[in-house]
Amino acid sequence: MNASQTNTPAPIITPLIADPWDHYALLDSGHGRKLERYGKVTVDRPEPQALWAPSLPESEWAKADATFTNTGGEDGDSGKWDIRGKTPEAWNVIWKDITMVCRLMSFRHMGLFPEQLTHWDWVNHQVATTRNSDNDNQLNILNLFAYTGAATLAAAAAGAQVTHLDASKKAIQWAKENQIASNMEDKPIRWICDDAKAFVARELRRGRKYDGIIMDPPKFGRGPDGERWHIEEDLVEFMKNCTELLSDTPKFMIITAYAMRLSSVSLAAIMEDVTKHLGGKIEFGELLIKQEHGNRHLSTSLYARWSAE
């Protein structure tokens, strides 16, 4: 069989649904907004996909501890929070044994993306299953565009050694804070502030290999030295290079994408192209959050993932 042939089955459309848990819930959504509970703090912030009417009355939305208003246009992330009462500057949100420190940021986020819960769980399971079947096999995982490190900690908690890369020093410091809050200082995590494209190219030259790769690239971005990232222009070549970093017995590769013109079908097609020589299977679709009130699911992003299973 030559390299252009493959026995890989066709990609499978699989919506991934994040259910509410003790420390997070999507309470309601509608009229371009979403009402969420992060730990002990309730927030009301923009959600362009929520075109429907809310399920809860306005009186419930009015109880939010903080409401975000865009100042850079309806599609922008920049803005300000209207804070009511004594909302803390920082507070903890816990998932399993992982503690994430949340803050109200000027770009409407809080340092945690709960829709990614399904990926955290899946990565945690992939690593733990390998450790259980072979106690001497510690997976080497690369997390690119890794932000505040939820996926990094999910992999490390299950026994992987993880390389965590982000272009923002502040994001890496925040991720280290989450590591300390989770009592995981002893876990083998390598922290790197670098441009993802440049780092992957160097790792290829060094001959480094990884058993699993996680990537969550932005639509646009800049590296620490001004390096330019544009997802529609850079993604295909970047994913090819990432595939070359996979070990001889790779376990998985995941990509999540937000706010882009491509579809999940496009992501799956790219993933199929770059992994066709590996066999395995590909899943793709949307990341969804199940709403606590009303029979709805909110779509937040697109994903594709390859696994050796």
Tell me: the pLDDT tens digits for 98-145? 999 999 998 889 999 999 999 999 999 999 988 666 556 789 999 999
- Indicate if the pLDDT at residue 8 is higher than 80: no
- Tokens 């376990």 sit at which residue? 251
Mean pLDDT of 66-84: 78
- Tokens 């030295």 sit at which residue? 225
What ranges do the domains of the chain cover? 12-17+114-307, 20-102
pLDDT score recorded for residue 221: 84
Q: What is the model's pTM?
A: 0.92
**CATH topology for the 20-102 domain:** Immunoglobulin-like (2.60.40)
- Indicate if the pLDDT at residue 279 is higher than 70: yes
For residue 222, name the pLDDT band (cuts at 50, 70, 90). confident
Those residues whose C-beta lies under 8 Å from the C-beta of residue 97, and which sit 6 or more positions away, are 157, 182
- Indicate if the pLDDT at residue 39 is higher than 50: yes
Indicate the CATH number for domain 12-17+114-307.
3.40.50.150
Q: Which of 193, 198, 78, 208 is nearest to 146 (CA)?
A: 193
pLDDT score recorded for residue 86: 85
The two three-digit tokens of residue 252, written as one number: 């998985």
DSSP string, the chain: --TT---PPPPEE--EEEPPBTTEEEEEEETTEEEEEETTEEEEEE-TT--S--SS-HHHHTT-SEEEEESS-TT---EEEEE-S---SSEEEEETTEEEEE---TTS--S--GGGHHHHHHHHHHHHHHHHH-TT---EEEEES-TT-HHHHHHHHTT-EEEEEES-HHHHHHHHHHHHHTT-TTS-EEEEES-HHHHHHHHHHHT--BSEEEE---SEEE-TT--EEEHHHHHHHHHHHHHHTB-SS--EEEEEE-S-SS-HHHHHHHHHHHHTTS-SEEEEEEEEEEBSSSS-EEEEEEEEEEE--
pLDDT score recorded for residue 134: 59
The rounded percent of the chain whose pLDDT value lies above 90 is: 79
pLDDT score recorded for residue 7: 60
CB atoms within 10 A of CB 298: 22
Higher pLDDT, 133 or 235: 235
pLDDT score recorded for residue 132: 60
